[in-house]
Amino acid sequence: MSENIIIALVALFLFQISLCDVNEENRKRMEKLYGENKEITGDYDKDLSASCNNGVFVGTKNEDVISFKGIPYAKPPTGELRWKYPILAEDDNKVYEAYYFGKAPIQTEWENELGSYYPKSEDCLYLNIWVNSKDSSENKPVMVFIHGGS
């Protein structure tokens, strides 16, 4: 093996080792943002709620924006449902938090892609919705983002 190839391999190895600390720091940073949306059994702010076929979801307000995070739109695509078309989530009339994003789809972790360190799962069919609380018009603009995954 030529000396240049050995030097290149050693440099690559040392570079990968140096990324380990950065990767662990990014992972810990993203894990702090993760939480599980739970059922709400008591009072809740109806002005921050949205009714869906699979429940009532209560978001959070920051200035003039209400966010609803982690709303399931389909049954988890695991087990018998893996590699199948999505099946709508079960009808439900319970009230749930919509404070936290659902898990991210399985993907490669990239140092320059902080979101790739967010907790991942095959159970990743969730919507995140932001609404201008001052806009009372019936037909609001909608933006859909479909991630590339890996």
For residue 125, give the nearest of 79, 71, 55, 81 by alpha carbon. 71
Residue 24 lies in a domain: no
Are 100 and 91 within 8 A, CB to CB? no
- The pLDDT of residue 86 is 92
| Domain contains 62 | yes
Running DSSP on this structure, what letter comes out for residue 86?
A: -
How do residues 83-113 score in pLDDT, each as one tens digit? 999 999 999 999 999 999 999 888 888 877 8
Residue 46 pLDDT > 60, yes or no? yes
pLDDT tier, 26 (very low <50, low <70, confident <90, very high otherwise): confident
**126: phi then psi, degrees, rounded to nearest 5:** -135, 150
Question: Which structural domain range is residue 50 located in?
Answer: 33-132
| Mean pLDDT value of segment 15-23 | 56
Give the confidence band of 62 by pLDDT, cuts at 50, 70, 90: very high
In a domain, 80, yes or no: yes
Residue 69 forms part of a structural domain: yes
pLDDT-derived band at 31, boundaries 50, 70, 90: confident
Give me the number of domains the chain comprises. Answer: 1
Question: In 10 A of CB 127, how many CB atoms?
Answer: 16
Q: What is the CA radius of gyration of the chain?
A: 21
In a domain, 115, yes or no: yes
Band the pLDDT of 29: cuts 50, 70, 90.
confident
Looking at residue 16, its pLDDT comes to 54
CB 70 within 8 A of CB 37: yes
Comparison of pLDDT for 120 and 14, the residue scoring more: 120
Q: Is residue 91 part of a domain?
A: yes
Rounded average pLDDT over 75-89 = 94
The reply to whether 104 falls in a domain is yes
Give the pLDDT of residue 17: 47
Q: Can you give the pLDDT at residue 9?
A: 66
Predicted local distance difference test score (pLDDT) of residue 53: 95
Is pLDDT larger for residue 20 or for residue 87?
A: 87
Looking at the domain assignment, is residue 13 inside a domain?
Answer: no
